Structure 1
């Protein structure tokens, strides 16, 4: 660290901390009449939203929640969840967004590890709570979340003891004024848990400053540089990524700061998502490829090309294949790829077409739109080899993606060993292998643990999946490497067919053989076996679960 000359500080001068309450305050300045919509059940403007956030703060303080206490939420994507993003954090408490798709045992671990004091829980998840409540060590009170209003909790058959009341009823009885205090911007704001290949889930955490800076980074990239053009005037935002998953990728903070119209769909149901998309004029969303594939494959989508042509969708979590990108673009949906991880808050890259690339025909743009994206503002992304040396950004050389930036997590809660491994050498290690072009395009080759090592060659399972996605009749594909006595490892593929397809393994291999003969594909990339399945295993956040495929489906793949 170099020696610098610091600005003298005046005792009376105020230096505002970067807090989430500051983002909230912006929502009232310019367009407070814009709406926040929940399914087809509830709508409010930003004046009401701000009032409800303050009522929530009063409810929580009335339940004994103070600075540093952890408040957990188990809900579908809703206006309530958005209120928690601000109401919990702005009183100095910590928001724990529980991944409701984890097993009950994992949820129990995360709640005890995070030391949750109060839990806001949707009635749909009461069976989980009933199964683990006796083993919770720190929870004192519960608040019921529901699309119905219960004035008598005895009417909720599965509600256990310790409930303070129902959310809407408590809010109505709370005072609408609350003066959010100033505090250190490095105060812990949120936590959530990410699962790895081994061990218990890891507690990722972020400060107010980190989330504030992530919001500024998003605003710079999507509103300023127009990477995925987002305008508070022209766009309507609807997340289709769970709000428990890295704060829905941080976009709710941005949409609220800009007082954009927001639509929250609750539990994901294809017909309702499409209905909300059309009725509310949704133009900006983000989701994993599985959700996009589900919507693109819905026969009803074919009837709404004109409306869908206004829809911009950021894809993350897993790679956007050329086949899925082509299907979406043919419907008029503008698809973009983003890249990051739970530990990076998460945005590190996002599709950013320059002037020349935007002028290309759509079929040529697919090459760019299916890359991981261009490096986002304020983030330093490099490639590193196994010896800790940097790899050149020449578009060809491969290395592990490492990063630094103002919003990357500092580590894992109460897990110093794994935190030290994450930040070894002063760089956050992603475990992803990639190349980077001189003009900052990132192309992910694979996870380090998913790269297939065959006959002395390293091949990318993502590249094979991308090629399989372009075979007519293929809806989804997953490729893993399995042990081979001769070659060390060989690729094996799982394929989900489209409803009207009648594919065979020989037909798919013949399609790939054509690519080999044309010189587009190395012969090593041809899978040894291809198995057809009804569904490809996914993780709790919708990613292809390659660990499970390797362990549980090895017998199916090998036949």
Structure 2
């Protein structure tokens, strides 16, 4: 074909094994710490491919994984798609009915599962076995199989004895390589297929200086789960750059993350804000050496400004990124433009607090309710539409969803955004979470970040509650930090918001809760909060006439 070989994943692995054979891959597992290098990794990826071929799996088959972040899971990242099969990472934290639907919809032929997730998978199978009719093989990620009702084999037994060389096929760019499903918070999960070319181009884009580049002197630790959009593509880009990998394993606590950063010299890590809120609290209470850590990537939801300041004070650059399952996932990164490098700290912070600049290779537009383009002034906002080489154009086996959520080749993201004069995208809210009060919009995310900037607040979520006069009013649900005086927290936080925002933005009430419920991907579960706290009596009569927007 013109231009040489097709754009596929395998050359990233080949290069890493040839140029950096002794660079380490480190993994925290149920069985302890595991260490090996790219040379051994390439051998094991080939063994996995041979084992799958010997078991009758191959061309076009979907292979599911039900796993944490560890070296065996990483072996499937190259071993499965490079042999022509399709890697389907399944979120083990989803409800059983969603797991059943996903396996049935994908028609997975094999599932690789962590021992700790066996009870969850057994429950999903036992509750409704029909969706698992396609599954011919369960493989437990370990050296042995615990007692289980599933007919399973241990991973090490599965690959043992197979050759460490594999005749990797020449694959076409459009060959499906990956499959991931949305979390399904507003209905059935939707499948997104990634072709070889999509994953190749996404990897090359985030390896650019305006992405999340990883070099051979980096040590990358993805805390974002490998079942969540391929850990944001970092295992692929770390391999492309020849970086050392560190996998934090099952359910890492802040102490585990701190230890791995210190002992393995982690330079780049990534995860959702709730992970880093936990690490922040741990660092405050313990002597933690973060000196090797250069960059901490945050996505999934907005990082509070206080978090950015905290890590700045510890010499760690917090890098905001935005993306979706449908965008493979990285769509924007908040790097400073060269003409902002000499700006004052507050100006820089304001830019870095946004979701950033569109990733090179993508196109976007912002559309208002009337279908018009929104001006790039930092104030007007609308729905973000995006398209490009690694943005899907359809959903897997869901034509009705495809018709609803794509237009003119653009994905309609459902994110309400503004774009400032420098091109920095700011997520104002999810379309379903923005609060409409008296004909005006209130950003729940902005209020949450403002609340979490208060010293007494560990976590905060804001939802819209029905109101007879104003349509909706904001209700704040906060988790106080340990030891905080909550006797006057309601008034104190309302005054805190009023210092920065107009009266009609101030939550009508502040409710103290023990924990903000999370979705399967670690985001605040607004749907659950609305179900429990969406009673208009919580805000009825609280908002004075002058606290509403002017008509």
TM over 0.5: yes
Matching of residue 421 in structure 1 with residue 421 in structure 2? no
1:5 paired residue number: none
Tell me if 1:378 matches 2:368.
no
Q: Which region of structure 1 is more displaced relative to structure 2, 407-416 or 306-315?
A: 306-315
1:262-308 per-residue CA deviation (whole Å, 9 max, x = no partner) reads 1001112222211111100001011000000001101566522x534
1:157: which partner in 2?
147
2:20 maps to which residue? 31
Equivalence for 1:118: 110
Deviates more, 1:549-558 or 1:76-85: 549-558
Residue 535 (structure 1) aligned with residue 503 (structure 2) = no
Closer, same or farther in 2 for the Cα pair 1:80/1:508, shift >3 Å?
same
Would you say the 8 A contact 2:442–2:505 is kept in 1?
yes
Alpha-carbon distance in 2 for matches of 1:382, 1:324: 29
Describe the superposition over 1:249-274 as per-residue Cα deviations: whole angstroms up to 9, x where unpaired: 01110001112101001112222211
CA distance in 2, matches of 1:360, 1:511: 31
Q: Secondary structure at the match of 1:279?
A: helix
Q: Are 1:211 and 2:199 matched, yes or no? A: yes
> Which residue does 1:271 correspond to in 2?
255
Measure, in 1, the Cα distance between the counterparts of 2:472 and 2:85: 49
Give the Cα separation in 2 of the matches to 1:205 and 1:279: 37
Q: Give secondary structure in 1 for the equivalent of 2:429.
A: strand
- Aligned partner of 1:140 in structure 2 is 136
> Following the alignment from structure 2 to structure 1, what is the Cα–Cα distance between the partners of residues 440 and 92?
40
Structure 1 residue 15: deviation in Å? 3.6
- In the superposition, relative to structure 1, how do residues 285 and 514 fare at CA in structure 2: closer, same or farther (>3 Å)? closer
- 3-state SS in 2 of match to 1:41: strand
CA distance in 2: counterparts of 1:236 and 1:301, whole angstroms: 25
SS in structure 2 at match of 1:328? helix
Counterpart residue number, 1:368? 351
Q: How far did 1:441 drift?
A: 0.5
* Inter-partner Cα distance in structure 1 for 2:489 and 2:422: 39
Deviation at 1:515, TM superposition (A): 5.5
**Superposition CA RMSD, Å:** 2.0
Contact 2:290–2:314 (Cα < 8 Å) also in 1? no
Distance 1:285 1:62, change over 3 A: same
Indicate the residue corresponding to 1:70 in structure 2.
62
- Deviates most, 55-64 or 457-466: 457-466
**C-alpha distance after superposition, 1:330-384 (max 9, x if no partner):** 3333211111111111111111112343344555532222111111111112101
- 1:108 is paired with a residue of what secondary structure? helix
| 1:438, distance to aligned residue in structure 2 (A) | 3.1
Q: Which moved more, 1:168-177 or 1:533-542?
A: 168-177
- 1:284 paired with 2:268, answer yes
Q: 1:160 to 1:309 in 2, by over 3 A?
A: closer
User: Partner residue of 1:109?
Assistant: 101
Please, which runs of 5 or more residues in structure 2 have no aligned partner? 540-551
Partner of 2:544: none
Give the 3-state SS of the residue equivalent to 2:207 in structure 1: helix
Unaligned runs of 5+ in 1: 1-8
Structure 2: distance between partners of 1:91 and 1:410 = 25
2:77 to 78, 85, 93: 85
**Residues 557, 445 of structure 1: CA spacing in aligned structure 2 closer, same or farther, 3 A cutoff?**
farther
Partner of 1:3: none
- Residue 471 in 1 paired to residue 471 in 2? no
**Aligned pairs (5 A) from 1:393-408:** 393-408=376-391
Question: Is the 8 Å Cα contact of residues 393 and 409 (structure 2) preserved in structure 1?
Answer: no
For the Cα contact (< 8 Å) 1:530–1:557, is it kept in 2? no
Contact 1:278-1:307 at 8 Å conserved across structures: yes
Distance 1:206 1:216 in 2: 15
Please, which of 441, 445, 453 is the counterpart of residue 436 of structure 2?
Answer: 453
**Aligned mates of 1:199, 1:430 — CA distance in 2:** 16
After superposition, residues 295-444 of structure 1 pair within 5 angstroms as: 295-299=279-283, 302-304=286-288, 306-308=289-291, 310-360=293-343, 362-444=345-427
1:492, 1:557 within 8 Å by CA — same for their partners in 2? no
SS in 1 for 2:408: helix
* 556 and 275 in structure 1: CA distance in 2 versus 1, 3 angstrom threshold: farther
- Distance in 1 (alpha carbons) for counterparts of 2:184 and 2:537: 23
Partner residue in 2 for 1:513: 495
Structure-2 change in CA distance of 1:373 and 1:509 (3 Å): farther
| Partner deviation per Cα, 1:395-416 (whole Å, 9 max, x = no partner) | 2221110011110012211100
CA distance in 2: counterparts of 1:462 and 1:195, whole angstroms: 19
Cα distance in structure 1, aligned partners of 2:3 and 2:341: 45
Matches of 1:132 and 1:507 in 2, distance apart?
43
Contact map agreement 2:490 2:509 (CA 8 A) in 1: no
What SS is found at the alignment partner of 1:295?
A: helix
* Partner of residue 6, structure 1: none
What is the DSSP-based 3-state SS (H/G/I as helix, E as strand, rest coil) of the residue aligned with 2:391? Answer: coil
Q: Would the aligned equivalents of 1:73 and 1:81 in 2 still touch at CA under 8 Å?
A: yes
Q: Does 1:16 align with 2:5?
A: yes
| 1:169, distance to aligned residue in structure 2 (A) | 2.4
User: 1:531 touches 1:557 (CA, 8 Å); kept in 2?
Assistant: no
